[in-house]
Amino acid sequence: MTAGRTADLWWKNAIVYCLDVETFLDGDGDGCGDLRGLIERVDYLAGIGVSCLWLMPFFPSPSRDDGYDITDFYNVDPLLGSLGDFVVFLRTARNRGMRVVIDLVVNHTSDRHPWFRSARASRHSPFRDFYVWRDRPPEEPSAAPVFPDAEKSIWSWDRKARQWYLHHFYAHQPDLNIENPSVRDEIAKIVGFWLELGVDGFRIDAVPFLLEAEGNPGDVPLDPHAFLKHLQAFISRRRGDAVLLGEVNVAPKALRGYFGDTEGDELKMLFNFPVMQAMYLALARQDARPLARSLERLPEIPEDCQWGIFVRNHDELTLDQLGDDERLEVFEAFGPEEDMQLYGRGLRRRLPPMLDGDPQRVRMVYSLLFSLPGTPILFYGEEIGMGENLAVEGRTSVRTPMQWSDEPNAGFSVAKPSRLRRPVVEGRFGPMAINVAEQRRDPQSLLNWMERIIRRRHETPALGWGASRVLASGDHSVFAHRKDWEGTTVVLVHNLASEPRSVRIDVDPPPGHHEVVDLLDQGHAVIAMDAGRLELKLEGYGFRWFRVEEVGGRTTP
Ligand code: GLC
pLDDT tens digits, 267-278: 999 999 999 999
Q: What is the CB neighbour count within 10 angstroms for residue 358?
A: 15
Interval between CA 214 and ligand 1 midpoint (Å): 20
For residue 5, name the pLDDT band (cuts at 50, 70, 90).
confident
**CA–CA separation, 516 vs 414, rounded Å?**
51
**CA–CA separation, 158 vs 133, rounded Å?**
10
**DSSP SS3 for 232:** helix
The reply to whether ligand 1 has any atom less than 6 angstroms from the CB of 205 is yes
The reply to whether ligand 1 has any atom less than 6 angstroms from the CB of 26 is no
Digit-coded pLDDT (tens) for 305-319: 999 999 999 999 999
Name the residue with the closest Cα to ligand 1, atom 7.
Answer: 206
Name the residue with the closest Cα to ligand 1, atom 9.
Answer: 315
**CA–CA separation, 80 vs 58, rounded Å?**
7
For residue 555, name the pLDDT band (cuts at 50, 70, 90).
low
Across the range 157-163, mean pLDDT stands at 98
Across the range 6-12, mean pLDDT stands at 92
Across the range 361-382, mean pLDDT stands at 98
Backbone φ, ψ for residue 465 (5° rounding): -100, -25
Return the ligand 1 atom nearest residue 315 CA: 9
Q: Mean pLDDT of all residues in the chain?
A: 95
The reply to whether ligand 1 has any atom less than 6 angstroms from the CB of 429 is no
The reply to whether ligand 1 has any atom less than 6 angstroms from the CB of 206 is yes
The reply to whether ligand 1 has any atom less than 6 angstroms from the CB of 310 is no
- Residue 524, pLDDT > 60, answer no
**CA–CA separation, 267 vs 306, rounded Å?**
9
Interval between CA 314 and ligand 1 midpoint (Å): 9
For residue 553, name the pLDDT band (cuts at 50, 70, 90).
low
Interval between CA 16 and ligand 1 midpoint (Å): 19
The reply to whether ligand 1 has any atom less than 6 angstroms from the CB of 103 is no
Q: Are residues 382 and 311 in contact, defined by beta-carbon separation less than 8 angstroms? A: yes
> Which of 169, 210, 250, 393 most suits a substitution to test ligand 1, by most atoms within 8 Å of the C-beta?
169
Q: Are residues 361 and 541 in contact, defined by beta-carbon separation less than 8 angstroms? A: yes
> Which of 113, 170, 205, 377 most suits a substitution to test ligand 1, by most atoms within 8 Å of the C-beta?
205
The reply to whether ligand 1 has any atom less than 6 angstroms from the CB of 351 is no
Interval between CA 377 and ligand 1 midpoint (Å): 17
Interval between CA 205 and ligand 1 midpoint (Å): 6
What is the set of active-site residues? Answer: 205, 247
The reply to whether ligand 1 has any atom less than 6 angstroms from the CB of 105 is yes
Q: What pLDDT score was predicted for residue 554?
A: 58
Kindly report whether the global pTM for this prediction surpasses the value 0.95.
yes
The reply to whether ligand 1 has any atom less than 6 angstroms from the CB of 20 is no
CA distances from 443 to 58, 147, 439, 520 (A): 35, 43, 8, 15
User: Minimal CA–CA distance to 352: which of 480, 477, 447?
Assistant: 447
Interval between CA 388 and ligand 1 midpoint (Å): 19
